[in-house]
Amino acid sequence: MSLPRTAASFAPPVMEARRWLEGVTFPQDRPLINVSQAAPVDPPPEALRRHIADVALNLPEAHLYGPVLGLPGLREEVATQFGTAYGGEISAAQVAVTAGCNQAFCAAITATCGEADEVILPVPWYFNHKMWLDMMGVKAVPLRTGDDLLPNPEAARALITSRTRAIVLVTPNNPGGVEYPAALVRAFYELARETGLRLIVDETYRDFDARSGAAHDLFADPDWPETLVQLYSFSKAYRLTGHRVGAMIASETLLSEVEKFLDTVTICPNQLGQHAALWGMQNLSQWLSGERAEILDRRAAISEAMPALEAEGWHLMGVGAYFAYLRHPFAMSSRDLAPALVREAGVLCLPGTMFMPEDHAAGGEQLRIAFANVDRAGIAALFDRLAAVSFEKR
């Protein structure tokens, strides 16, 4: 008897990490610092919640099935705003709304790959990307990165085979936090175009990029639909994680295939969430600027706090968006260190081994810190606790 598709992958890492809390108590003067998940825990701003309530009460069709590829108004708004931001031509017909950005990725892969095909993922990779490839029977080909966590296009070229169908980039990166330079993204685009691959660019965290202006110029190429698939999430921008709203920008040809997948999985995206995302795009730009400024300030707080950790042998490999990616100094693997930190330091974070193939030893030396819900004072407390950890060092 063959195994089910899900058996080909691993348990959800965030859920696994939460189980480390079982049986552990935290004193009131030293509560748990949870930096394991990159999702805002606060609700949307009140004005947006009121809009959701108004739609729920007064728009009957919001409770019915909607178009498989999303509300026309939201598709048009995404096309307009992204076209303006990136200096390119995007039509509403080239936009699909999905039940979160994870579903956008799943749909893009399903519409691109067949059994035993290959997709190149820079490592450390986003674990949900790896999980979907596993369950699809698609081989994830790891593209190693150096201390700067930036992938090398020529190293990627050496990994391309007759079965390769796509290269995936996440920028700002999860888990590494690094922002890929525009020239690097362009180099991967040129490689993908030359070799007939799709370049899937996941920009879930684009609203928290420290750079001003567009993060890349790929949409300025009138032939972008032949190569580029761009993914986005409204969850982080407008705190809509529970409403599950994401987007994909791609060719109409690819979206006709994507529609088959979406119709069999969700039929349509969450209607209330779509109305919320549209209202947010049209009304919350100033509020979102404040959210970005807060995240950038927390990023600065991490960089300012690093000297105390560096004195204990820690190294900051990357920081940006919601993430700091650290190399720890201890002799034990991060696979064992991360659960030990719950008990010893009252800190819940994820080990680098959750973002790497098992045979990549570097993962054992790394930890991901997700600071979306930790303010400056929390970051200071976090770093004090990490600096005080006294396990045997390498």
For residue 1, the model assigns a pLDDT of: 78
Inform me whether the pLDDT recorded for 55 exceeds 90. yes
Q: Where in the chain is the domain with CATH 3.40.640.10?
A: 46-283
Strand 164-170 relative to strand 118-123, pairing: parallel
Q: What is the pLDDT of residues 289-340, one digit of tens each?
A: 999 999 999 999 999 999 999 999 999 999 999 999 999 999 999 999 999 9
Six-digit token pair at 205?
């965290």
Above pLDDT 70, what percent of the chain? 100
For residue 387, the model assigns a pLDDT of: 95
| Inter-residue contact 355 to 14 (CB < 8 Å) | no
Tell me which amino acid residue 339 is: P
What is the rounded CA–CA span in Å between residue 299 and residue 372?
A: 10
| Inter-residue contact 209 to 321 (CB < 8 Å) | yes
What is the rounded CA–CA span in Å between residue 351 and residue 361?
A: 12
Inform me whether the pLDDT recorded for 279 exceeds 90. yes
CA atoms within 13 A on the CB side of 136: 25
Cis, bond preceding 175 (omega within 30 deg of 0): yes
Over its C-alpha atoms, the chain yields an Rg (Å, rounded) of 21
What is the rounded CA–CA span in Å between residue 329 and residue 315?
A: 8
Inform me whether the pLDDT recorded for 82 exceeds 90. yes
The stretch 264-270 carries a mean pLDDT of 96
| Inter-residue contact 347 to 338 (CB < 8 Å) | no
Cis, bond preceding 124 (omega within 30 deg of 0): yes
Q: DSSP class of residue 106? A: H
Strands (E), the chain: 33-34, 95-98, 118-123, 139-144, 164-170, 198-202, 228-233, 246-249, 315-320, 323-327, 347-348, 350-351, 366-370
Q: What is the pLDDT of residues 2-41, one digit of tens each?
A: 889 999 998 999 999 999 999 999 999 999 999 999 888 8
Q: Where in the chain is the domain with CATH 3.90.1150.10?
A: 5-43+287-388
For residue 40, the model assigns a pLDDT of: 85
Give bridge partners of residue 169 from the DSSP assignment.
201
Angle of helix 376-388 versus helix 285-310 axis, rounded to 10: 20
- Whole-number average pLDDT of the chain: 96
Above pLDDT 90, what percent of the chain? 96
Assigned CATH topology for domain 46-283 = Aspartate Aminotransferase; domain 2 (3.40.640)
For residue 38, the model assigns a pLDDT of: 84
What is the rounded CA–CA span in Å between residue 67 and residue 145?
A: 40
Inform me whether the pLDDT recorded for 163 exceeds 90. yes
For residue 19, the model assigns a pLDDT of: 96
| Inter-residue contact 367 to 355 (CB < 8 Å) | no
Cα 116 → chain centroid:
25
Domain 5-43+287-388 in CATH 3.90.1150.10: yes
Six-digit token pair at 104?
């956008």
What is the C-alpha end-to-end distance of the chain, expressed in Å?
45
Instruction: Give the pLDDT band (50/70/90) at residue 394.
Output: confident
Q: What is the pLDDT of residues 98-146, one digit of tens each?
A: 999 999 999 999 999 999 999 999 999 999 999 999 999 999 999 999 9
For residue 56, the model assigns a pLDDT of: 98
Q: What is the pLDDT of residues 180-233, one digit of tens each?
A: 999 999 999 999 999 999 999 999 999 999 999 899 999 999 999 999 999 999
The stretch 147-173 carries a mean pLDDT of 98
